[in-house]
Chains A and B, each alone.
Chain A
Amino acid sequence: MMHQVTTLPSLRRRVRSLLLAAVFLSPLLFFALFYFYPLAAILRLGLWLEGRLDTVALGELFRSAYFLRVLWFTVWQAVVSTLLTLALALPGAYVLARYRFRGQTLIRAVATLPFVLPTVVVAAAFVALVGPAGVLNVWLMRLLALDAPPIRLSQTVWIILLAHVFYNYSVALRLLSAYWQNLPPSLSQAAQMLGASPARAFLTVTLPLLRPALLAAAALVFTFTFTSFGVIVVLGGPRFATLEVEIYRQAVNLFNLPVAAALSLWQILFTFILMAGYTRTQLQVTRALRLGARRSIEQPVRTPRQRLLVIGNAAAILVLIGAPLLALVSRSLRGAAGPTLAYYRALFTNRDDSLFFVPPVVAIRNSIAVALVATLLAVALGLITAQLLTRWERGPGRGNGGRVALARLLDPLLMLPLATSAVTLGLGYLIALGRPPLNLRGSILILPIAHAVVAAPFVLRSVLPGFRSILPSLREAAAVMGADGWRVWREVDWPLIRRPLLVGALFAFTISMGEFGATIFLVRPETPTLPIAIYRFLGQPGALNYGQALAMSVLLLLVCAVAFVAIEHFRVGGEGGF
């Protein structure tokens, strides 16, 4: 009797701790298998020749004019996109940081929306606005009685830059305005009282003080545009190739995997350097934001000049962000004979001349199914990792300081997928997961797994602050009052992380719905997702294909907009960014 009473609980405890360890280790195993292993496969293919380390091929690239051309285009379009974005976002950030006016919340929301939009939707929106059959050209042709579209931006670098500015404006605006809000206006006024003209005060005082935010925004926008893929393949046509596009071409069109792997290695190196740079600047920004006491320094709009400034910027934001999206919606509802729902109806039919074996509506169904599974996976991964990290960070009480060090190492390691381009991930899967020992090439699960790897860092970033905010004393208090382990989690942890978790899940869902770069490597022709279908339809001639692509883009846009509203609603504490 006595014997049993003592061993049974201890056995149960041992089983329980083993289970717990298995749960905690599962995300590490997942990342090892589905992130590090594919990356290692690229490394192996790019660096390993006939069983030896061989960096010749890697260096060889730099002697080929073609590679240098790709690299040059990648860099200069990213530099120009970054400069344009910052130049446009700076006045907007000033207005949002310094003035209080009606409709400010709306402007802020509109300006943030592009951040959650899939690249294919952005590309489709610009096609609908300034493409040959786009709203502007249709109008101008009718207005001026022209035979040919007057705006010929399609397949030029201009439309690429425009789309990049559209896409990144919100990121730059958010970063800059949040930082600017913390600069006391008295600094610029003090400069003026000391004899500096307003322009001089801006150059000598405000601009240098904005430097950390400018650098962080520049680093982020540069990284995004450096790894731009969807925008370039849809809008640029065959003439333009960034490194990212070239990896895809080499791997999928030419099936030259070793070259793709070599390109990919450079891409990995560049993006890691860029992300490291961004993380450093971002650190400075958050430190400054935390230091600056939040005070309300926004002032109402008073003079006519201020009114002009505010209205001008608000209009610029609305036009920049609103015009392409409105064009997309209106163009999808308009056929040759006027308003029509034909494009939406056609989504349900399977045409003989279609390049798909299935009606497009199947793509919608696929996308939702993939996104749901990917969200579940990403949430589980993010949740378990966040719990693990916070436990280890609070380490020394149990075990040793080694765990704290481990947590400090693990945290940035788990953020690496954020710094890995989607195309690199896709290529890695193509190389590593398409053959034994782990052949998932035919499996339907490969897409949600890839999406979960991309989305999990967002979930982690979202819930980690929540977990960190739970003081151990809260759990202890609950335990002292008689709650057991599960009950403590239910009563203390869960209510505090519920909202961040929901935000993370919404992020994961929208990311998966819109994922393009990795998907295009892995998708099978008979089970396309929505972004892939949009891309394929946009590439085909004919008004119906065009219209269907736009109609699908609108549906995707709606899903993302709803998710975006929900994210803004549930986000704790307003700020926060990536």
Chain B
Amino acid sequence: MALLEVRDVAKSFAPGTSAVDGVSFDLAEDDILCLLGPSGCGKTTLLRLIAGLETPDRGRVRFDGRDLAGVPPHTRDFGMMFQDFALFPHKNVFDNVAFGLRMRHRPAEEIATRVTAMLTTVDLAGFEHREIGQLSGGEQQRVALARALAPGPRLLMLDEPMGALDRALRERLMLDVRAILKRVGMTAVYVTHDQAEAFAVADHLAVMNAGRIEQFGRPPAVYNHPATPFVARFLGFENLLPGQVDARGLVVTAAGRFRPPSPARGPAVTLLVRPALDQAAQPSGDDGGDVNVIDGLIDAVAFRGRFCQVWLIAGGERLLFEVMGDYDHGPGERVRVPVSPQQLQVYEDAV
């Protein structure tokens, strides 16, 4: 049975707009769910609705079978990690981590053992008496995590917990965060706008757009089969071409005609062309030699180390491909690029 059930939850802050617009999902125990989306998509509001820091206009949040409507945040027994960490600057590391335990009136010895154990878990043993101002960004993040975990919440919410950190630190810490959450066996909702972070941390992903969940699923499934053009674009796919389905089931675009792996339904569609480019493959030229081939002019080539980025202009569209290793051609040359059906995905346009 799902531990957390969110049903048709909606929240609006100004008339005529909605921050969260009818969201439903289930979360099982010990599962980490990432709410992924651009800023303003409603992911933080959804998190705060679950935490009880905002009240939904409609819909239900149930936890362990219990309706949370009217339950104030401090009695929900949830933990939360804030984007700015929200560490209490007037308390030292120990008192920060101990805060939740003190609110629960735990005996002093238990608090001391628990704080030490939590600090060890986040690799900060011996930091008890440091002041918050003396900590680096990464250390503050760990203290915030330890503080949120210390009272043993039944659900942990993390609001952009890496947002205040630089890129390199983030790369390292997101794996640590997942490892820690798994080690203590925590059910968590994790908000981020960074897809790499979401992939690294999540058991399940919910990609959000304009207050709604566009796709819910496991990270590989979402990456391999983005459910909508929005999800595809958000995950970093750039080659999305407007097209029409002709009588033979081919997708006709400005950059050429393509046969998708399964028959497309139209009439108006958006075609995703994944960027893989195999230099060894020769244009097969089926159907008179111009289906699943892009005939284009190389606009730019950028060497990125393990791969090359190639920008191609075909029929007025600018397409991006990635080639493993070095690329044999340069800007200004005309090339014919073969495209396999597995690289293609078709989205019916909403009428």
Contact = CB atoms under 8 A, between A and B. Distances in A.
A350 interface: no
B111 to A, nearest CB: 13
Given A189-B53, A300-B13, A195 B86 contact: no
Q: How large is the interface on A (under 10, 10 to 19, 20 to 34, 35 or more residues)?
A: 20 to 34
Interface string A190-224: 11111111101100110011010000000000000
A201 B88 CA distance: 11
B296 to A, nearest CB: 46
A198 to B, nearest CB: 8
B51 interface: yes
Nearest to B14: A300
B99 A191 contact: yes
Interface residues of B, number: 29
Interface stretch (B76-84, B265-273, B313-321): B76-84
Contacts of B14: 300
Interface in B164-179: none
A195 B90 contact: no
A87 B23 CA distance: 43
A196 B14 CA distance: 29
A187 interface: yes
A186 interface: yes
Contacts of B55: 303
Contacts of B259: none
Contact of A195 (B51, B84, B88, B103): B103
A194 B13 contact: no
Contact of A193 (B13, B73, B83, B90): B73
A194 B82 contact: no
A184 to B, nearest CB: 6
B248 interface: no
Interface in A154-207: 184, 186-187, 189-198, 200-201, 204-205
A187 B82 CA distance: 9
A303 B104 CA distance: 29
A302 interface: yes
A197 B74 contact: yes
Nearest to B79: A193
Contacts of A192: 53, 72-74
A194 B84 contact: no
A192 B157 CA distance: 13
A426 B168 CA distance: 66
Nearest to A183: B89
B97 to A, nearest CB: 10
A189 B103 contact: no
B226 interface: no
A293 to B, nearest CB: 10
A194 B103 contact: yes
The 9 closest A-B pairs by CB, nearest first: A195-B103, A194-B100, A186-B86, A190-B86, A193-B80, A186-B82, A192-B74, A192-B73, A208-B90
28 contacts: A184-B84, A186-B83, A186-B84, A189-B53, A189-B73, A189-B80, A189-B86, A190-B147, A191-B88, A191-B99, A191-B103, A192-B53, A192-B73, A192-B74, A193-B53, A193-B74, A193-B148, A194-B99, A194-B148, A194-B151, A195-B74, A195-B77, A204-B99, A208-B90, A209-B88, A209-B90, A300-B14, A302-B13
